[in-house]
Amino acid sequence: MSEAPARTRLALASGSPRRLALLQQIGLNPDALLPADLDETPGRNESPRKLAARLALEKAQSGAKLARARPDLSPCYIVGADTVVCVGRRILPKCETLDEADDCLRLLSGRAHRVFTGVTVIDPQGRDRSRLVEARLRFKRLSSREMEAYLASREWAGKAGGYAIQGIAGGFVVKLVGSYSAVVGLPLYETRAMLDGLGYPTDASWATGAPP
C-alpha cells in the first residue's frame, strides 16, 4: 500500500502575535512560527517602500531556510511580512524607548502618514511572490494629556511608529485609506491571493476548522 502524500504545511516567518491572529482570522493556522533574526536598519537612501519589500522577502527567505532543516515541515509554504511607518521619506522606528515613542507621537499628531507593508510567499519548490501594500492615515491633533496617558500605557513598545491601530491609538485615527489588516501587519487579501496562486488550499479548513 502506498503512503498517503504529506500534508502541506504553512509557516509564518514572524513571531508577531498580530500577524498570527490575522492569518487565523481567515482560517489559516500556521504549523510553525519561524521568526527571522535580521538587521532591520534601512540602507543608505533606502525608501520606506523598498525597505518594507526587502525585509518581507528576507524574512520569508530566512523562514524557508529554517523550514528546509525540519523534516516535520515538508512540504511547506512560507509567509514573511514587514511593516514600515513613515512621514514623507522619514522612516519611523520600532519604538524601544520612551523618547523614541514621544518623538513619533509628536510627529504623527495632527498629520498624515503612510504605512507600507510588504509580504512575500515562498512555495515548497522555492518559487516566490511578493506584494507591497500602501495605506494612508491621518491622526487627530493630540492634546498633552492624551500624549502623556498614551506614553504611560507603554502600548507603543516594539511598534513601528510607536502605535498599533488595533489598540488604544485606534482612537487617534481620523482617516484611513487602504487596507486595515495591512496597517495591523499583514494584508489579508494579498496574502491569501498569493497563497492561492502558488497552490496552497487556503479555504480547505473553512468547513472543518482543521488545517489543510
What is the reported pLDDT for 37? 86
Please report, for the chain, the start and end positions of each structural domain, with discontinuous segments joined by +.
9-197
What is the reported pLDDT for 205? 78
Phi, psi of 36 (to 5 degrees): -95, 145
DSSP conformational letter for 73 = G
Residues with a known catalytic role: 82
CA atoms of 34 and 76, how far apart (whole Å): 12
Side-chain half-sphere exposure of 108, counting CA atoms within 13 A: 30
Phi, psi of 136 (to 5 degrees): -115, 130
Q: Which CATH number fits domain 9-197: 3.90.950.10, 3.40.50.880, 2.30.40.10, 1.20.210.10?
A: 3.90.950.10
Cβ contacts of 96 within 8 Å, gap of 6 or more? 157, 158
pTM recorded for the entire structure: 0.91
Instruction: Using alpha carbons, list the distances in angstroms from residue 89 to 47, 114, 139, 158.
Output: 6, 10, 18, 21
Q: What is the pLDDT of residues 139-173, one digit of tens each?
A: 999 999 999 999 999 999 999 999 999 999 999 99
What is the reported pLDDT for 211? 55
Q: Which residues of the chain are under the pLDDT cut of 70? A: 1-6, 209-212
Distance in angstroms between the alpha carbons of the first and the last residue of the chain: 23
Cβ contacts of 125 within 8 Å, gap of 6 or more? none
